[in-house]
Amino acid sequence: MTMLLQIVFPPTLLHTAASVFTLILMAILGLLETGGIHLQYSKFSNTTRMNVPSRVGMFLIYAPAFLAGLASFWLFPHGDLRFLFLKSAMTIHFFKRILEVLFVHKYSGVMGLESTIVILGTYFTLSSIMIYAQQLTQGLPEPSIDLEYPGIVLFLIGISGNFYHHYLLSKLRANGSKDYKIPRGGLFELVICPHYLFEILGFVGMSLISQTLFSFSASLGSAMYLTCRSYVSRRWYLSKFEDFPKQVKALIPYVF
């Protein structure tokens, strides 16, 4: 507990409750994935349900969170450098995802409307609460262990690695093919979901910039969900491709 108080701003009771609820919710979503109840996007979309085109669905899930980040500069124009870095990181992260949806990814299917709404609401809510929680720290004493600048470095590594591996995925469909293939290049030689790994690093970077209990809870919850999603993704590739290399792990090279 003492160590925790050295790296986070003192949380209020409401802040703590929101953090615990978020962690539990994300853990449940992850466990549902491993149990075969998937959020309906990418290779796990269900064409028998009400759907939207994948590009439309992906744009919808990122746009509100991006607008929340953008609006935070107007709603909270004042604040310390840490707050500015967090608002910037949040906005850049979702703006990057929108640009990838529009210009990088090659989509072949549909996305479940229910899942679109769930993910949209989750991203928007987490982003908005994280920004508001940071606003509440203004004027409070800084944590005794400052992780702000390591967080910036980790965030930049995360978004760069995430973009690079999204680019590699897009090249699999360079000739208009809509079939799934075994990804190659980069960390795809070691894990099947390196884009998830770098996305987790980006989220952890934002939590280090923020150093609020909620930001750490949100990044841990996201990591738990993406870990479970990577596990079922590897299981899917093993079932679809007889030549899938067994040494390729799900998320963490040589480990998991």
- Give the model confidence (pLDDT) of 23-78 as tens digits: 999 999 999 999 999 999 988 887 767 999 999 999 999 999 999 999 999 999 99
pLDDT at 203: 98
Residue 129 lies in a domain: yes
pTM, full prediction: 0.96
What rounded mean pLDDT belongs to the chain? 94
Residue 250 lies in a domain: no
Residue 205 lies in a domain: yes
DSSP 237: H
Segments forming the whole domain that contains residue 234? 11-174+183-240
Backbone angles phi, psi at 51, to 5 degrees: -130, 170
The number of CA neighbours under 13 Å toward the Cβ of 23 is: 12
Write out residues in the chain with pLDDT < 70, as ranges.
Answer: 1-5, 48
Residue 4 lies in a domain: no
Give every CB contact of residue 2 below 8 A, 6+ residues apart in sequence.
Answer: none
**And the tokens for 187?**
């960390």
Residue type at 107? Y
Considering its fold, how many domains does the chain have in total?
A: 1
- By three-state DSSP, how is residue 93 classified? helix
Residue type at 8? V
Residue type at 225? Y
Residue 72 lies in a domain: yes
Residue 248 lies in a domain: no
pLDDT at 178: 76
Question: Could you tell me the CA-to-CA distances from 237 to 54, 108, 207, 244 in Å, in that order?
Answer: 20, 17, 32, 7
Residue 2 lies in a domain: no
Residue 118 lies in a domain: yes
Which residue has 């299981």 as its token pair?
Answer: 235
- By three-state DSSP, how is residue 191 classified? strand
**And the tokens for 107?**
């989509």
**110-112/51-53 β-pairing:** antiparallel
Query: Taking the CB of residue 73, how many other CB atoms lie within 10 A of it?
Result: 13
pLDDT at 46: 79
